[in-house]
Structure 1
Amino acid sequence: MAYKVIGLAIEVHRTLGPGLLESAYQECLLFEITNAGLKVEKEKLLPIKYKDIELNHGYKIDLLIEDKLVIELKTVENFTTVHYAQILTYLKLGKYPLGLLFNFNSKILRNNIKRFINTPS
């Protein structure tokens, strides 16, 4: 599934190129994933559970595919440790097994894709 989504993201990037807002890439990738027959949720809310309380602080996963694959989209100069921490936190909080981080602000998208695996501690 991750391999398929990477191919769809590359198709979106090939068609649009760099320089657009993150929301444009999100909508186009959502379209491609839906057309590929995969279940996808856009801006999936992710609450924080702490002991006996649940905090709804507006954390949103850009795209969640088949309740397993977290997709985070960026249009930044370069990835930073904050971007890595964000997706790792989403994987941990949601107990999702796999995440992909895409930076669409790049000449060649495949050089700006990071894969993350949730390894429970």
Structure 2
Amino acid sequence: MWRAGFGCRSKRNSSRITLMNADDSVPNSVPPPRELIDGETSGKIIGAFFVVYNTLGFGFLESVYERAMYVALRNRGVYVKRQVPFEIYFEGDLVGRHRADLLVEHRVVVEIKANHTLQEGAKRRLLNYVTALNLDLGLLLHFGHRAHHYRVLGKRRPNEQITNPSASG
């Protein structure tokens, strides 16, 4: 369920590439690659993450990185909102209120962490945010001693519509 944002893969989990015959009309029997969920949007977010990390480095508060990510995304023409409020309901009753650090293109929730080591519950908390916001994808950006990012996939069914949590506010 958790997808680490590292560029290397083991041989066992390596992706398969479609090879074409000399006439380019009949592909070899290799399954097509799976499409990345919100690949273009997540690519822009991760690109901005590395620009911010390489510029600011490690050691600032999360709020500094959040504002820097907001500026980096906005300056690249990406729609982004900061501190997006959402509510948690249980059996019809309001049981909690939270704020997502960033909501990008109304589709990807971004959680930012800036401590030396990532806390154990950070990925789980992001999964809860993704589920509560009824989204497909969340990104956890760790501005730690080393830059890391993690993809969290939601559980929304393909035929469900994405709701706009910022439409009411």
Provide the TM-score with structure 1 as the length reference. 0.89
Look at both structures and tell me which one has the larger radius of gyration over its CA atoms. 2
Q: Does structure 1 residue 100 correspond to structure 2 residue 143?
A: no
Residue 12 of structure 1 and its aligned partner are, at CA, apart by: 0.5
**Partner residue in 2 for 1:18:** 58
Distance (Å, rounded) in 2 between the aligned partners of 1:35 and 1:49: 35
Large movers: runs of 4+ above 6 Å: none
Deviates more, 1:65-74 or 1:75-84: 75-84
Q: Secondary structure at the match of 2:121?
A: helix
**Structure 1 unpaired stretches of 5+:** none
Aligned equivalents of 1:32, 1:44: Cα separation in 2: 18
Does residue 69 (structure 1) correspond to residue 108 (structure 2)? The answer is yes
1:113 aligns with 2:149: yes
Q: For 1:38 and 1:7, locate their aligned partners in 2 and report how far apart those are by CA, in whole Å.
A: 12
Task: Confirm whether residue 41 of structure 1 aligns to residue 81 of structure 2.
Answer: yes
Q: Distance in 1 between matches of 2:78 and 2:44?
A: 10
Q: Which has the higher helix share?
A: 1
Write out per-residue CA displacement over residues 2-23 of structure 1, whole angstroms, 9 at most, x where no aligned residue: 0111000100111111011111
Identity of aligned residues (%): 26
Counterpart code for 2:131 = K
Shift of 1:52: 2.3
Q: State the number of aligned residues.
A: 117
Unaligned segments of structure 2, at least 5 residues:
1-40, 158-169
Tell me the SS of whatever aligns to 2:67: helix
Q: What do the CA deviations read for 1:75-114 (whole angstroms, capped 9, x no partner)? A: 122223310111000011110110110110223x2xx111
| Structure 2 counterpart of 1:82 | 121
User: Please, what is the CA RMSD of the aligned residues?
Assistant: 1.5
